[in-house]
Amino acid sequence: MPDNRIAFQLTIPARHRCRTLCNSPQQRHIDIGSSKCKSKQPEMISIHQDKCDCSPDSVCIGIVNNRSICLCPLTKTSPQCLLNSICQMKPCINGSICVPYSERFSFINFTCVCQEGFYGKVCEHKDVQIDILFSNVPIPQVLLVHFITVRKFQLNNVDPVPIRATMFKKIGFDQNTVTFFMSLPFHLVFSQIENQFYLTVLQHNFTSSEVISTQIVSSEYCRDIQELFNKTILIIQFYIVVNIIILHTCKI
């Protein structure tokens, strides 16, 4: 049997810890000693991590004018990430994330990114939890929920219009319940399925940090005014209201 020989050359590049950030892959140039971006600014260069003076738990993303550019973790600060930040003391609670926004160690120079269901300076307060069950209504792909806050009537109140806050969530394929969290006070909750509205929660006094279990039922459907009156009655009522406003304005 004849033998068929194949000759080929395999090149294995040397392994190094160079990390370079370029605007596009075409601008990247790598050799054994260093790596740099093909740019008009020759001072932009990234070398081995061993030559950076960042802290061990940080990431060196490059060197500019012989100065290391360090990406610090949330618990460290300073140009080389050598100092502890306020987040080292874990001021945020309930599973929230502490984010410092100043290099100075201060008890106020930080913010907390709260988990869903909590709010406050350090996420110490719990939102109102509303569990909504779909009952005898079509389950939509997306549910809109409108929270209405009724203002108390005052003579010196310039804007007595109720406050509305709207939230939405996607509904899973095999899901018949959905949970919302609200930190603002509210008195009414309307659930919107397409163009149909359902009264979901009615409360005279707001109670914080409580759990409300309710359901969307067909009996709580809010009928549109066009469903209650025909167009003729609506047109007559509109002209009556307009005439009242005009007469009242003329008398003034």
Residue 244: which pLDDT band, with cuts at 50, 70 and 90? very low
The tokens for 250 are 């003329």
Least Cα distance to 91 among 102, 115, 107, 105 occurs for 107
pLDDT of residue 66: 80
Angle ∠(144,149,153) on CA atoms, nearest 5: 150
For the residues of 106-160, what is the DSSP string, one character each?
-SSSEEEEPPTTEESTTS-EEPEEEEEEE-SSPPPSEEEEEEEEPPPP-TT-S--
Spans of all domains in the chain? 25-71, 81-119, 127-226
Residue range 27-48, pLDDT digits in tens: 444 443 445 555 444 444 445 5
Residue range 140-185, pLDDT digits in tens: 999 999 999 988 776 666 667 888 999 999 998 888 999 999 999 9
Rounded to the nearest 10°, the torsion over CA 4, 5, 6, 11 is: 160
CATH number for the domain running over 127-226: 2.60.40
pLDDT of residue 95: 92
Residue range 63-77, pLDDT digits in tens: 888 888 888 888 888
**Residues in Cβ contact with 133 at an 8 Å cutoff, skipping those fewer than 6 apart:** 176, 177, 213, 214, 215, 216
Residue 54: which pLDDT band, with cuts at 50, 70 and 90? confident
